[in-house]
């Protein structure tokens, strides 16, 4: 069997990251924490709504085209896409962070260009659009899709 000392050390090693996550919202990697996803959704009315981010581009004819995220981000797993978009592809920086390196910006531009051109051809502008979808809780049908925010991404 395991010794008392081992059991206590194990308990501390397991609890410390968990306590940090619960009270400070900081997740250590690696740590033994499984997905909680404790959020709830309000279904008080006959409808439910959720927000998400979507990439759009305007092509050379000024038409707005929706970009397929799975193809765009591959091989990055699709579940990471919303987190990347939240940070505007790493271009969103705080007061404490250093300004974006030009070489890194160029690298990002080439990466994005390649992926968008493969999907929709040459483009003029790139946007990250925050949408709010409202769905009927009775039959699950989409009732409304509203643009909440629209952020252009400048890579030049």
Partner 1 sequence: MKNLSTLINELNTKFWTRVNDSVSLPLESLCCFRIILGFYLLLIQLKTYSWIRYIPDLLYSPPKMSIARFFHSFPDYWLFLAIDMGILIAVLCIIFGIKARLASLLFGVLNIVGCSFNYSFGKIDHDILLYVLLICMSLSNWGTLLAFYPDKKLKGADRSLLLLSVLICFGMFTAGLPKARTWINLDMSSSGFLSWYFRGLSESGRSDLLMPYVLDFPPLLIKSFDFIAVLFELSAFFMLMAGRKFWKLWLLGVVTFHLLNCLLLNIPFVVNFLVYLAFIDFSGLYQRINNYIRQPYVKIILSSVVFLLVLIRLFFILTGNKNNNLLIDTEWDLNFAVLLWVVSIILFIKNIFQNPLSRMETTHTVNATSGRG
Which residues of the chain form contacts with partner 1 (CB under 8 A)?
Answer: 1-4, 7, 10, 14, 18, 21-22, 26-44, 48, 50-52, 69-70, 75-84, 86-87, 89-91, 100, 104-105, 107-108, 111, 133, 135, 137-140
Nearer to partner 1, 61 or 81 (CB): 81
Q: How far is the CB of 116 from partner 1 (least distance, A)?
A: 14
DSSP 51-89: EEEEEEEEETTS-EEE--HHHHHTTS-GGGHHHHHHTGG
For the four alpha carbons of 108, 64, 151 and 77, in that order, the dihedral sign comes to: negative
Q: How far is the CB of 59 from partner 1 (least distance, A)?
A: 22
Nearer to partner 1, 7 or 149 (CB): 7
Round to whole Å and give the CA distance between 37 and 45: 23
Q: How far is the CB of 156 from partner 1 (least distance, A)?
A: 15
Q: How far is the CB of 18 from partner 1 (least distance, A)?
A: 5
Nearer to partner 1, 5 or 61 (CB): 5
Contacts 24+ apart (CB under 8 A), 94-102: none
151 - beta bridge partners? 128
């Amino acid at each position: 069997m395991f010794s008392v000392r081992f059991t206590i050390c194990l308990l501390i090693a397991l609890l410390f990251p968990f306590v940090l996550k619960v009270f400070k919202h900081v997740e250590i990697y690696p740590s033994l924490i499984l997905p909680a996803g404790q959020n709830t959704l309000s279904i008080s009315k006959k409808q439910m709504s959720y927000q998400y981010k979507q990439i759009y581009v305007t092509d050379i004819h000024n038409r707005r085209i929706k970009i397929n995220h799975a193809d765009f981000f591959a091989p990055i797993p699709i579940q990471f896409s919303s987190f990347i978009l939240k940070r505007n592809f790493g271009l969103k920086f705080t007061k404490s962070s250093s300004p974006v390196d030009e070489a890194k910006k160029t690298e990002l531009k080439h990466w994005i260009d390649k992926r968008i051109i493969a999907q929709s051809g040459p483009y003029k502008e790139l946007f990250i659009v925050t949408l709010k979808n409202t769905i009927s809780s009775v039959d699950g049908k989409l009732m409304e899709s509203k643009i909440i925010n629209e952020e252009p991404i400048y890579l030049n």
